[in-house]
Chain A
Amino acid sequence: MDGIIGEYKEPTDAGPRVMLTFYPGAFPVKWNQCSVAADFFAEYFADVGEGGLTEEAERRDFVGSVGYVLNELIENAVKFCAGGTVVIDAGVEAGEFVVVVSNQVCGDAVDGLRIKFAELLDGDPAELLMQRVEENAANPELTTSGLGFLTMLSDYKARLGWRFDPAPGNPDNALLKTAARLQVKSS
């Protein structure tokens, strides 16, 4: 079940780096805590990464972009978590914010996810986003918007990758690691 899709890259110790682990068994992750965690990483790395962002507009853009992308990744991890921990591993190096968010998914879901991720990277994200919203409007009973990764690719120019590994201690699950990269200075 292992394998890599897209541009998968993990943070290294070459620059500032922070890891945060949620233990859902002992400490249920509530929806609004996704937002709090995302904002912490955004604010933290705006100040420590490569001397910090001193231009107000650059800082604002970084905090907004990292906050958006990371909030989406953590929301996904919490929503689709099939047990085990949710881990956020983020750093800034070589002008990029790099993050990997990990969660366990059911082993049965892996093949479907692989296809979905490959489709996201194959098409034009702006076009796929338009199609998806039209589908959502035509099917109001849908409970997920499916716009998270598409907006990251289309509006934030994020580089995304995924990796599947065996889940530690649970042969029925797989460990899904989702990687995202953003330019620290977008322009």
Chain B
Amino acid sequence: MTDTTTRPSGSDTDIKGPGYRVWFDAPARTVHFEGVLRLSTSEYKPIEDLLDRVLLANPALALRMTELQFLNSSGINMLYKFAIAARKKGETEIKVHGSSTIPWQGKSLPNLKKFLPTIVIALD
């Protein structure tokens, strides 16, 4: 995209863009997703890279989605692909924290189990 307003900023483990932030809390082994993520498929690359790196480096990981109000289908694709990567890597415990008051989470997060049967999904 040529629209500079959607370009992310921050570091490799703290990605910020207009209306969203994705960051890794290393001591807590938790990736936090916050705001509204409606990027194009290619714009998710920095976040995909972050997820790939932390997956390789950690035997247990949590994804905290309780502050992520919207995620479009390109973002859902990224999330499901992460689950497949974790399944292929094996020996990784993944837990997802979500909120039952955020509609997309109740509808789309349960599908993660189809790609990674061992994943734990906790909806507040």
Residues in chain B near residue A60, CB distance under 8 A = 101, 103
A60 to B103, CA, bound (A): 7
Residues in chain A near residue B84, CB distance under 8 A = 133-134, 137
Q: Which of A64-123 contact B (CB under 8 A)?
A: 64-65, 67-68, 71-72, 75, 79
Q: Which of A37-85 contact B (CB under 8 A)?
A: 57, 60-61, 63-65, 67-68, 71-72, 75, 79
Question: Interface majority SS on B: helix, strand, loop or mixed?
Answer: helix
A126 to B113, CA, bound (A): 13
User: By the criterion CB–CB under 8 Å, are A64 and B81 in contact?
Assistant: no
Q: Which of B24-57 contact A (CB under 8 A)?
A: 36, 38-43
Q: How far is the CB of B75 from chain A (nearest CB, A)?
A: 9
User: By the criterion CB–CB under 8 Å, are A32 and B85 in contact?
Assistant: no
Residues in chain A near residue B81, CB distance under 8 A = 133, 136-137
1/0 contact string of B93-123 vs chain A (CB within 8 Å): 0000000011110011001001100000000
Residue ranges of B at the interface with A (Cβ–Cβ < 8 Å): 1, 3, 5-6, 18-19, 36, 38-43, 70, 72-74, 76-77, 80-81, 84-85, 101-104, 107-108, 111, 114-115
